[in-house]
Protein backbone atom coordinates (compact mmCIF):
# COMPACT_ATOMS: atom_id res chain seq x y z
CA UNK A 1 0.00 0.00 0.00
CA UNK A 2 1.72 3.18 -1.16
CA UNK A 3 -0.54 5.76 0.50
CA UNK A 4 1.28 8.94 1.47
CA UNK A 5 2.50 9.05 5.05
CA UNK A 6 0.49 10.96 7.61
CA UNK A 7 2.89 10.29 10.43
CA UNK A 8 6.23 8.65 11.13
CA UNK A 9 7.18 6.66 14.21
CA UNK A 10 10.51 8.08 15.39
CA UNK A 11 10.52 6.04 18.59
CA UNK A 12 7.78 3.51 19.38
CA UNK A 13 8.44 3.18 23.12
CA UNK A 14 7.88 -0.16 24.82
CA UNK A 15 4.91 -1.24 22.68
CA UNK A 16 2.97 0.77 20.13
CA UNK A 17 0.28 -0.72 17.91
CA UNK A 18 -2.65 0.26 15.72
CA UNK A 19 -5.94 -0.46 17.53
CA UNK A 20 -9.62 0.32 17.06
CA UNK A 21 -12.58 -1.00 19.03
CA UNK A 22 -11.60 -4.58 18.18
CA UNK A 23 -12.97 -7.49 16.16
CA UNK A 24 -15.64 -9.26 18.19
CA UNK A 25 -17.72 -11.91 16.45
CA UNK A 26 -15.04 -14.49 15.62
CA UNK A 27 -14.36 -16.07 18.99
CA UNK A 28 -15.68 -19.47 17.98
CA UNK A 29 -12.87 -19.60 15.41
CA UNK A 30 -10.37 -18.88 18.18
CA UNK A 31 -9.93 -15.25 17.12
CA UNK A 32 -9.70 -12.87 20.08
CA UNK A 33 -11.59 -9.54 20.10
CA UNK A 34 -8.40 -7.52 20.67
CA UNK A 35 -8.69 -3.78 20.11
CA UNK A 36 -7.81 -0.84 22.34
CA UNK A 37 -7.58 -2.05 25.94
CA UNK A 38 -9.27 1.19 27.00
CA UNK A 39 -12.14 1.67 24.58
CA UNK A 40 -13.34 4.67 26.59
CA UNK A 41 -10.05 6.51 26.03
CA UNK A 42 -9.93 5.69 22.32
CA UNK A 43 -13.57 6.74 21.89
CA UNK A 44 -13.01 10.11 23.56
CA UNK A 45 -9.77 10.73 21.64
CA UNK A 46 -11.55 9.89 18.39
CA UNK A 47 -14.44 12.25 19.09
CA UNK A 48 -11.99 15.03 19.92
CA UNK A 49 -10.18 14.41 16.62
CA UNK A 50 -13.49 14.58 14.76
CA UNK A 51 -13.53 10.83 14.06
CA UNK A 52 -16.20 8.18 14.44
CA UNK A 53 -15.74 6.18 17.65
CA UNK A 54 -14.48 3.16 15.74
CA UNK A 55 -11.61 4.88 13.89
CA UNK A 56 -8.19 3.31 14.39
CA UNK A 57 -5.69 5.07 16.64
CA UNK A 58 -2.42 4.16 18.31
CA UNK A 59 -2.08 2.43 21.66
CA UNK A 60 1.18 3.50 23.31
CA UNK A 61 2.71 1.79 26.33
CA UNK A 62 4.69 3.48 29.11
CA UNK A 63 5.53 6.62 27.20
CA UNK A 64 9.02 6.94 25.77
CA UNK A 65 7.79 7.50 22.25
CA UNK A 66 8.12 10.11 19.50
CA UNK A 67 5.87 10.61 16.52
CA UNK A 68 6.31 13.13 13.70
CA UNK A 69 3.27 14.34 11.79
CA UNK A 70 3.95 14.72 8.07
CA UNK A 71 0.76 16.61 7.21
CA UNK A 72 -1.28 19.27 8.98
CA UNK A 73 -3.88 17.45 11.05
CA UNK A 74 -5.61 17.39 14.41
CA UNK A 75 -4.91 15.04 17.29
CA UNK A 76 -6.10 14.06 20.74
CA UNK A 77 -4.48 11.96 23.47
CA UNK A 78 -6.32 10.07 26.18
CA UNK A 79 -5.06 7.95 29.04
CA UNK A 80 -1.82 8.84 30.80
CA UNK A 81 -0.06 11.79 29.17
CA UNK A 82 3.48 10.76 30.21
CA UNK A 83 4.44 14.43 30.17
CA UNK A 84 3.42 14.73 26.52
CA UNK A 85 4.71 17.66 24.51
CA UNK A 86 4.23 18.87 20.94
CA UNK A 87 7.47 20.53 19.80
CA UNK A 88 8.28 21.03 23.46
CA UNK A 89 4.95 22.60 24.43
CA UNK A 90 3.02 20.56 27.02
CA UNK A 91 -0.34 19.16 26.06
CA UNK A 92 -3.02 17.45 28.06
CA UNK A 93 -5.01 14.28 27.78
CA UNK A 94 -8.53 14.71 26.43
CA UNK A 95 -7.59 17.84 24.51
CA UNK A 96 -8.16 18.36 20.82
CA UNK A 97 -5.45 20.37 19.10
CA UNK A 98 -4.18 21.28 15.64
CA UNK A 99 -0.82 19.99 14.48
CA UNK A 100 1.37 21.42 11.70
CA UNK A 101 3.33 19.24 9.31
CA UNK A 102 6.73 18.43 10.82
CA UNK A 103 5.69 18.80 14.45
CA UNK A 104 6.84 16.09 16.85
CA UNK A 105 4.76 14.57 19.64
CA UNK A 106 6.91 13.29 22.47
CA UNK A 107 5.90 11.17 25.45
CA UNK A 108 8.47 11.04 28.23
CA UNK A 109 9.53 7.78 29.82
CA UNK A 110 7.51 6.30 32.66
CA UNK A 111 9.74 7.68 35.40
CA UNK A 112 8.99 11.27 34.36
CA UNK A 113 5.43 11.05 35.59
CA UNK A 114 5.95 8.62 38.43
CA UNK A 115 3.77 10.64 40.80
CA UNK A 116 0.66 9.97 38.80
CA UNK A 117 1.93 6.95 36.97
CA UNK A 118 -0.23 5.22 34.42
CA UNK A 119 0.52 2.63 31.83
CA UNK A 120 -0.97 3.42 28.44
CA UNK A 121 -1.91 6.28 26.17
CA UNK A 122 -4.21 6.35 23.14
CA UNK A 123 -3.62 8.74 20.25
CA UNK A 124 -6.32 9.62 17.75
CA UNK A 125 -5.48 11.50 14.55
CA UNK A 126 -8.08 13.18 12.30
CA UNK A 127 -9.17 10.69 9.65
CA UNK A 128 -7.94 7.72 11.68
CA UNK A 129 -4.95 5.49 10.98
CA UNK A 130 -5.51 4.02 7.53
CA UNK A 131 -4.62 0.34 7.46
CA UNK A 132 -6.62 -2.43 5.76
CA UNK A 133 -9.69 -3.80 7.49
CA UNK A 134 -9.14 -7.45 8.42
CA UNK A 135 -12.18 -9.38 9.65
CA UNK A 136 -13.98 -6.10 10.15
CA UNK A 137 -11.31 -4.33 12.20
CA UNK A 138 -8.05 -2.40 11.86
CA UNK A 139 -6.73 -3.68 15.20
CA UNK A 140 -3.38 -5.41 15.38
CA UNK A 141 -3.56 -9.01 16.59
CA UNK A 142 0.00 -9.20 17.89
CA UNK A 143 -0.13 -12.86 18.83
CA UNK A 144 -1.55 -14.10 15.53
CA UNK A 145 0.35 -11.51 13.50
CA UNK A 146 -2.36 -9.93 11.39
CA UNK A 147 -4.31 -6.67 11.22
CA UNK A 148 -2.96 -3.22 12.06
CA UNK A 149 0.29 -2.20 10.38
CA UNK A 150 1.71 -5.37 8.81
CA UNK A 151 0.34 -7.46 11.67
CA UNK A 152 2.97 -6.30 14.11
CA UNK A 153 3.98 -3.76 16.75
CA UNK A 154 5.20 -0.45 15.33
CA UNK A 155 8.91 0.06 14.78
CA UNK A 156 11.14 3.08 14.38
CA UNK A 157 10.73 4.49 10.89
CA UNK A 158 7.25 3.09 10.25
CA UNK A 159 5.14 5.48 8.19
CA UNK A 160 1.38 5.34 8.63
CA UNK A 161 -1.26 6.77 6.31
CA UNK A 162 -4.33 8.65 7.52
CA UNK A 163 -7.89 8.31 6.30
CA UNK A 164 -9.87 11.24 4.92
CA UNK A 165 -10.71 13.56 7.83
CA UNK A 166 -14.28 14.60 8.51
CA UNK A 167 -13.06 18.07 9.57
CA UNK A 168 -12.95 21.06 7.21
CA UNK A 169 -9.99 23.47 7.15
CA UNK A 170 -11.49 25.81 9.71
CA UNK A 171 -12.30 23.02 12.16
CA UNK A 172 -8.87 21.52 11.64
CA UNK A 173 -7.21 24.78 12.63
CA UNK A 174 -9.51 25.57 15.55
CA UNK A 175 -7.87 26.54 18.86
CA UNK A 176 -7.29 23.68 21.32
CA UNK A 177 -10.13 22.65 23.59
CA UNK A 178 -10.81 19.72 25.86
CA UNK A 179 -13.31 17.66 27.80
CA UNK A 180 -13.33 16.32 31.34
CA UNK A 181 -11.32 13.10 31.45
CA UNK A 182 -13.00 10.07 32.99
CA UNK A 183 -12.05 9.52 36.61
CA UNK A 184 -10.26 6.25 37.38
CA UNK A 185 -11.40 6.71 40.98
CA UNK A 186 -8.24 5.50 42.65
CA UNK A 187 -8.60 5.15 46.40
CA UNK A 188 -6.79 7.28 48.99
CA UNK A 189 -3.87 4.84 48.90
CA UNK A 190 -3.59 5.21 45.13
CA UNK A 191 -5.02 1.72 44.58
CA UNK A 192 -7.10 1.12 41.48
CA UNK A 193 -10.48 -0.27 42.53
CA UNK A 194 -12.03 -2.77 40.11
CA UNK A 195 -15.59 -3.97 40.48
CA UNK A 196 -15.85 -7.73 40.00
CA UNK A 197 -18.67 -10.24 39.70
CA UNK A 198 -18.02 -13.71 41.16
CA UNK A 199 -17.07 -16.09 38.33
CA UNK A 200 -18.44 -19.54 37.42
CA UNK A 201 -15.91 -21.33 39.68
CA UNK A 202 -16.01 -18.82 42.57
CA UNK A 203 -17.69 -21.27 44.92
CA UNK A 204 -14.94 -23.85 44.38
CA UNK A 205 -12.41 -21.68 46.20
CA UNK A 206 -11.68 -21.90 49.91
CA UNK A 207 -13.38 -19.40 52.17
CA UNK A 208 -10.01 -17.85 52.96
CA UNK A 209 -9.36 -17.40 49.23
CA UNK A 210 -12.75 -15.85 48.59
CA UNK A 211 -12.26 -13.43 51.47
CA UNK A 212 -8.76 -12.57 50.31
CA UNK A 213 -10.02 -11.86 46.80
CA UNK A 214 -12.18 -9.01 48.11
CA UNK A 215 -10.24 -8.06 51.21
CA UNK A 216 -6.69 -8.34 49.96
CA UNK A 217 -4.44 -5.86 48.26
CA UNK A 218 -3.07 -6.99 44.91
CA UNK A 219 0.03 -5.86 43.05
CA UNK A 220 -0.02 -5.56 39.26
CA UNK A 221 3.21 -7.26 38.21
CA UNK A 222 5.42 -6.15 35.31
CA UNK A 223 4.79 -9.51 33.60
CA UNK A 224 1.46 -8.06 32.49
CA UNK A 225 0.74 -7.47 28.80
CA UNK A 226 -2.11 -7.17 26.28
CA UNK A 227 -3.05 -10.80 26.94
CA UNK A 228 -3.31 -10.61 30.68
CA UNK A 229 -2.70 -8.52 33.79
CA UNK A 230 -0.90 -10.66 36.32
CA UNK A 231 -1.58 -10.02 39.99
CA UNK A 232 0.43 -10.93 43.04
CA UNK A 233 -0.95 -11.39 46.52
CA UNK A 234 -2.71 -14.05 48.58
CA UNK A 235 -2.33 -17.55 47.13
CA UNK A 236 -5.83 -18.49 45.96
CA UNK A 237 -6.72 -22.15 46.43
CA UNK A 238 -9.69 -24.30 45.56
CA UNK A 239 -11.08 -26.72 48.12
CA UNK A 240 -10.48 -29.55 45.64
CA UNK A 241 -8.35 -29.15 42.55
CA UNK A 242 -10.70 -30.74 40.02
CA UNK A 243 -9.63 -30.66 36.39
CA UNK A 244 -11.49 -28.24 34.19
CA UNK A 245 -12.45 -28.63 30.56
CA UNK A 246 -11.75 -25.76 28.16
CA UNK A 247 -14.40 -23.11 28.57
CA UNK A 248 -15.04 -19.61 27.24
CA UNK A 249 -13.16 -16.63 28.64
CA UNK A 250 -13.65 -12.94 27.92
CA UNK A 251 -11.64 -9.81 28.73
CA UNK A 252 -11.99 -9.20 32.45
CA UNK A 253 -12.10 -12.89 33.37
CA UNK A 254 -9.95 -13.54 36.47
CA UNK A 255 -8.30 -16.92 35.97
CA UNK A 256 -6.40 -18.70 38.71
CA UNK A 257 -3.60 -20.94 37.41
CA UNK A 258 -1.95 -23.54 39.68
CA UNK A 259 0.37 -20.89 41.16
CA UNK A 260 -2.68 -19.39 42.92
CA UNK A 261 -1.79 -15.94 41.56
CA UNK A 262 -4.65 -14.54 39.50
CA UNK A 263 -4.46 -13.33 35.91
CA UNK A 264 -7.04 -10.86 34.61
CA UNK A 265 -7.46 -11.54 30.90
CA UNK A 266 -7.17 -8.59 28.53
CA UNK A 267 -8.25 -7.98 24.93
CA UNK A 268 -5.62 -10.21 23.30
CA UNK A 269 -6.24 -13.20 25.57
CA UNK A 270 -7.15 -16.53 24.04
CA UNK A 271 -10.86 -17.26 23.68
CA UNK A 272 -11.05 -20.39 25.84
CA UNK A 273 -9.14 -21.42 28.94
CA UNK A 274 -8.84 -24.32 31.31
CA UNK A 275 -8.19 -22.49 34.59
CA UNK A 276 -10.91 -21.78 37.17
CA UNK A 277 -12.57 -18.38 36.79
CA UNK A 278 -12.88 -16.89 40.24
CA UNK A 279 -14.35 -13.61 39.01
CA UNK A 280 -14.98 -11.27 36.11
CA UNK A 281 -14.11 -7.56 36.10
CA UNK A 282 -17.20 -5.67 34.95
CA UNK A 283 -17.06 -4.11 31.48
CA UNK A 284 -17.29 -0.58 32.84
CA UNK A 285 -14.02 -0.99 34.80
CA UNK A 286 -11.79 -2.68 32.21
CA UNK A 287 -10.40 0.70 31.13
CA UNK A 288 -9.12 1.37 34.66
CA UNK A 289 -7.12 -1.83 34.53
CA UNK A 290 -5.71 -0.90 31.11
CA UNK A 291 -4.34 2.28 32.71
CA UNK A 292 -3.30 0.91 36.10
CA UNK A 293 0.44 1.39 36.68
CA UNK A 294 2.77 -1.61 36.86
CA UNK A 295 3.67 -2.47 40.47
CA UNK A 296 0.66 -0.41 41.57
CA UNK A 297 -1.97 -1.71 43.98
CA UNK A 298 -5.33 -3.07 42.94
CA UNK A 299 -8.39 -3.79 45.05
CA UNK A 300 -11.26 -5.95 43.90
CA UNK A 301 -14.76 -5.06 45.01
CA UNK A 302 -17.64 -7.54 44.77
CA UNK A 303 -20.68 -6.40 42.81
CA UNK A 304 -23.70 -8.12 41.29
CA UNK A 305 -25.11 -7.99 37.80
CA UNK A 306 -27.44 -5.05 38.55
CA UNK A 307 -24.53 -2.96 39.82
CA UNK A 308 -22.47 -3.91 36.76
CA UNK A 309 -25.28 -2.77 34.46
CA UNK A 310 -25.68 0.48 36.41
CA UNK A 311 -21.95 1.11 36.01
CA UNK A 312 -22.23 0.54 32.24
CA UNK A 313 -25.15 2.99 32.13
CA UNK A 314 -22.98 5.50 33.94
CA UNK A 315 -20.32 5.08 31.26
CA UNK A 316 -22.88 5.58 28.49
CA UNK A 317 -24.11 8.68 30.28
CA UNK A 318 -20.60 10.10 30.44
CA UNK A 319 -20.04 9.44 26.74
CA UNK A 320 -23.36 10.99 25.88
CA UNK A 321 -22.43 14.07 27.95
CA UNK A 322 -19.18 14.28 26.02
CA UNK A 323 -21.07 14.09 22.72
CA UNK A 324 -23.56 16.77 23.81
CA UNK A 325 -20.79 19.02 25.08
CA UNK A 326 -18.98 18.74 21.76
CA UNK A 327 -22.12 19.55 19.81
CA UNK A 328 -22.80 22.59 22.03
CA UNK A 329 -19.25 23.75 21.43
CA UNK A 330 -19.90 23.60 17.68
CA UNK A 331 -17.72 20.52 17.18
CA UNK A 332 -18.72 17.86 14.70
CA UNK A 333 -19.88 14.42 15.73
CA UNK A 334 -19.44 12.24 12.65
CA UNK A 335 -21.98 9.59 11.75
CA UNK A 336 -21.12 6.50 13.73
CA UNK A 337 -20.27 3.29 12.02
CA UNK A 338 -20.21 1.16 15.12
CA UNK A 339 -18.41 -2.14 14.86
CA UNK A 340 -20.63 -5.18 15.25
CA UNK A 341 -20.74 -6.69 18.68
CA UNK A 342 -20.64 -5.73 22.30
CA UNK A 343 -17.90 -3.14 22.42
CA UNK A 344 -19.70 -0.30 20.73
CA UNK A 345 -20.45 2.69 22.92
CA UNK A 346 -22.48 4.54 20.31
CA UNK A 347 -25.75 5.68 21.78
**Residues 96 and 74: beta-carbon distance below 8 Å:** yes
- What sign does the CA torsion over 97, 23, 228, 346 have? positive
**247 near another protein, judged by CB under 8 A:** yes
Q: Toward another protein, which CB reaches closer, 114 or 306?
A: 306
Given phi > 0 = left and psi -120 to 50 = alpha, else beta, which region is 315? alpha
Which residue among 8, 233, 294, 312 contacts another protein (CB under 8 A)?
A: 312
C-alpha to C-alpha distance for 120 and 31, rounded to whole angstroms: 24
CB 305 within 8 A of CB 23: no
Single out the segment in contact with another protein by CB under 8 A; choices: 98-106, 209-217, 267-275, 323-331.
267-275
Residue 226 within binding range of another protein, rule CB under 8 A: no
Binding part of the chain for another protein, among 217-225, 232-240, 279-287, 325-333 by CB under 8 A, reads: 279-287
Binding residue for another protein, selected from 199, 262, 267, 339, defined by CB under 8 A: 199
Of the candidates 148, 78, 149, the residue with the CA atom closest to the CA atom of residue 107: 78
Q: Could you say which DSSP state residue 134 is in?
A: B
Query: What is the footprint of another protein within residues 14-33 (CB under 8 A)?
Result: 24-31
- Asked whether position 252 contacts another protein by CB under 8 A, the answer is yes
Q: Helices in the chain by DSSP H: which ranges? A: 39-48, 169-173, 207-215, 286-291, 305-328
Residue 223 in contact with another protein, rule: CB under 8 A: no
Q: Which is nearer to another protein, 27 or 299 (CB)?
A: 27
**The binder of another protein chosen from 8, 85, 221, 270 (CB under 8 A):** 270
- The residue count of the chain comes to 347
- 170 or 305: CB nearest another protein: 305
Contacting residues for 7 by C-beta, under 8 A, at least 6 apart: 67, 68, 69, 70, 125, 159, 160, 162
- Give min distance, CB of 129 to another protein, in A: 18
Q: Which residues bind another protein (CB under 8 A)?
A: 24-31, 134-135, 141, 143-147, 197, 199-200, 245-250, 252-253, 270-272, 277, 280-283, 305, 308-309, 312, 340-342
Amino acid sequence: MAASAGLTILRPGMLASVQDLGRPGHRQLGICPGGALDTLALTIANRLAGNPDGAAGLELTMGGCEIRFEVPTRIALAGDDFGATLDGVPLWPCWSLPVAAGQVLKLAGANRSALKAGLRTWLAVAGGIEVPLVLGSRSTDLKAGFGGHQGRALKKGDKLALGPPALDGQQMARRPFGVRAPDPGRGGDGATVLRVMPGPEFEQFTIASREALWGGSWRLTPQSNRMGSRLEGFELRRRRAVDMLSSGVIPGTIQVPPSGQPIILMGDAQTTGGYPRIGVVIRADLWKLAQAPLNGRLRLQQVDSAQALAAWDERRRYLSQVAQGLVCAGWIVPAQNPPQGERSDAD
